[in-house]
């Protein structure tokens, strides 16, 4: 059980999203932010760095969007579904594009294979949170 779940279980107000999909989404966003920063950095250290430029740029963008989305979802005291929704949509697209690019390098670079997996998980978790929000 993550600390995201532990703290949200003690939250003084009613959550704007069901706990299960909310925690999964927050955890996935912070995990993906870390993985994308790490993959971009590993790309920079590869001998074929010139072929990794697009991967670096997409990882950097995905990491930043994951941080902001993970924080927006974390804030439940005055939860504004309209803001959560657009943040999730941005995160879904960033993860999808980053996952697609990492997939292209997954055979040569194991860090890209792992990062692709983390991006797919985050994309799915954001989609699930979006569905839970609409319900």
Range list of H helices, 17-109: 19-44, 53-74, 81-104
CB count in 10 Å sphere of residue 45: 9
Q: How many CB atoms lie within 10 A of CB 48?
A: 10
Between 90 and 132, whose beta carbon lies closer to its own copies? 90
Task: In angstroms, give the least distance from the CB of 38 to its own copies.
Answer: 4
Considering only residues 31 to 70 of the shown chain, the ones binding its own copies according to CB under 8 A are 31, 33-35, 37-39, 41-42, 44-47, 49-50, 53-54, 56-58, 60-61, 63-65, 67-68, 70
Task: Report the alpha-carbon distance of residue 58 to residue 51 in Å, rounded.
Answer: 13
**Nearer to its own copies (CB atom), residue 39 or residue 128:** 39
Q: Is 6 in the site for its own copies (CB under 8 A)?
A: yes
| Biggest CA pair distance of the chain | 52
| Rounded least distance, CB 2 to its own copies, Å | 8
CA-to-CA dists, residue 16 to 29, 57, 126, angstroms: 18, 33, 15
Residues of span 91-130 touching its own copies by CB under 8 A: 92-94, 97, 109-111, 114-115, 118
Rounded Cα gap, residues 89 and 69, in angstroms = 9
Closest CA to 19 of 41, 33, 35, 2: 2
Q: Which residues of this protein are in contact with its own copies, per CB under 8 A?
A: 2-4, 6-8, 10-13, 26, 30-31, 33-35, 37-39, 41-42, 44-47, 49-50, 53-54, 56-58, 60-61, 63-65, 67-68, 70-72, 74-80, 82-83, 85-87, 89-90, 92-94, 97, 109-111, 114-115, 118
């Amino acid at each position: 059980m993550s600390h995201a779940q532990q703290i949200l279980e003690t939250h003084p107000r009613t959550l704007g999203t069901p706990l299960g999909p909310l925690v999964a989404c927050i955890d996935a966003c912070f995990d993906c932010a870390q993985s994308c920063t790490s993959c971009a950095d590993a790309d920079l250290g590869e001998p074929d760095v010139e072929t990794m430029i697009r991967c670096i740029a997409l990882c950097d963008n995905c990491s930043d969007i994951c941080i902001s989305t993970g924080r927006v979802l974390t804030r439940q005291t005055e939860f504004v579904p309209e803001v959560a929704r657009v943040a999730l949509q941005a995160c879904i697209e960033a993860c999808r594009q980053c996952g697609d690019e990492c997939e292209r390098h997954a055979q040569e670079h194991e860090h890209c294979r792992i990062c692709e997996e983390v991006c797919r998980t985050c994309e799915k978790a954001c989609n699930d949170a979006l569905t839970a929000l609409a319900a």
